[in-house]
Amino acid sequence: MRDKGGINLARYVYTLTYAKDKAVLEIGFGSGFGAYYLSQHGVKSVFAIDPDGRAVDFARRNFRAKNLHFQKAKIEDLKISRKFDVAVSFEVIEHLEKPEIMLVKVKKLLKRSGIFLVSTPNRALSSYDGDKPTNPYHVREYFGDEFYKLLRRYIKYASVYGIFLKADKKEKESSIQKSWRWQLASRLTKKRWIRRVMNYLPEGPKRLFTGESELNLSPDDFFISYKNSEKAPYFIALCKK
């Protein structure tokens, strides 16, 4: 259970460590807010792609900036001559049948000293329905060593970190997880078909039912660390070409 707004934005805040005054490529931008956030916080330019036309339309309507461009495209089909200083792809790689296609393409699109930030759930802490992730849109999730080996197969340098919830919020989360509402939701969502149905329900009522809304998480409630990364619910890898 995670407040997706808080942890999602935390990834972009971390990105700013490497992206100030840089040209950034985002692969799979979701709502587009993260790309917009970067464009408003010292990033030179953001070129964001997503294969979902509805996501592109939404992002273009709601997030506008002179240094921000949204385009409908799959990474493997992207035809562009420019190179980027930084590429980011958050919670995308687990959706791909052939993640190696993205990794090879990203390497070509990065400048000589380019950086790639990529995140994914930790399989060790995910729930599975048989041999498949309970999230019906995930093709494959990764253990830490699997994630590292996949990245190193195509990229010269990779270091895998964990994204952790700070102690005070972790204590609050543990308390919520003991409630009957959260326990019921947790049992139900271990089935892929139930997860698929629930994805169509509004986030607000779901978070109210489980008690997750009480967490009210912000990016400041998370920290990123190499230590004990295998115990983190999410990984984020820093890769260098």
DSSP states along the chain: ---HHHHHHHHHHHHHHHHBT-EEEEE--TTSHHHHHHHTTTBSEEEEEES-HHHHHHHHHH---TTEEEEE--GGG------EEEEEEES-GGG-S-HHHHHHHHHHHEEEEEEEEEEEEBGGGS-EETTEESSTT-S--B-HHHHHHHHHHHSSEEEEEEEEE-HHHHHHHHHHHTSHHHHHHHHHTTSHHHHHHHTTS-HHHHHHHHTGGGT---GGGEEEESTTGGGSSEEEEEEE-
Give 163-181 pLDDT, tens digit per residue. 999 999 888 888 888 888 8
Q: Residue 155: what pLDDT?
A: 94
49 has which bridge partners? 27, 71
Q: Residue 231: what pLDDT?
A: 95
Tokens of 35: 């790309």
Assign domain 4-166+221-240 one CATH number from 2.40.70.10, 3.40.50.2000, 3.40.50.150, 3.40.50.11540.
3.40.50.150
- Short-list 114, 100, 121, CA closest to 11: 121
Judge whether 71 and 49 are in contact, CB under 8 Å. Answer: yes
pLDDT along the chain (241 residues), means of 10: 68 97 97 96 98 96 97 93 96 96 96 96 84 85 96 96 94 87 80 73 78 84 95 96 83
Residue 239: phi, psi to the nearest 5?
Answer: -120, 145
Show the CA angle centred on residue 120, arms to residues 67 and 125, nearest 5°. 150
Separation CA 239–CA 93 (nearest Å): 14
> Which residue is it, tokens 């993205």?
102
Judge whether 235 and 160 are in contact, CB under 8 Å. Answer: yes
Sign of the C-alpha dihedral computed for residues 209, 3, 140 and 235 taken in this order: negative
Amino acid letter, 209: F
- Please state the separation of Cα 80 from the chain's center in Å: 24
Q: Mutual orientation of helices 167-177 and 180-188 as an angle, nearest 10°? A: 80
Q: Residue 92: what pLDDT?
A: 96
> Which residue is it, tokens 């399989």?
123
Domain boundaries, the chain: 4-166+221-240
Q: How many CA atoms lie within 13 A of 89 on its CB side?
A: 23
Q: Residue 1: what pLDDT?
A: 35
CB-CB neighbours of 87 under 10 Å? 25
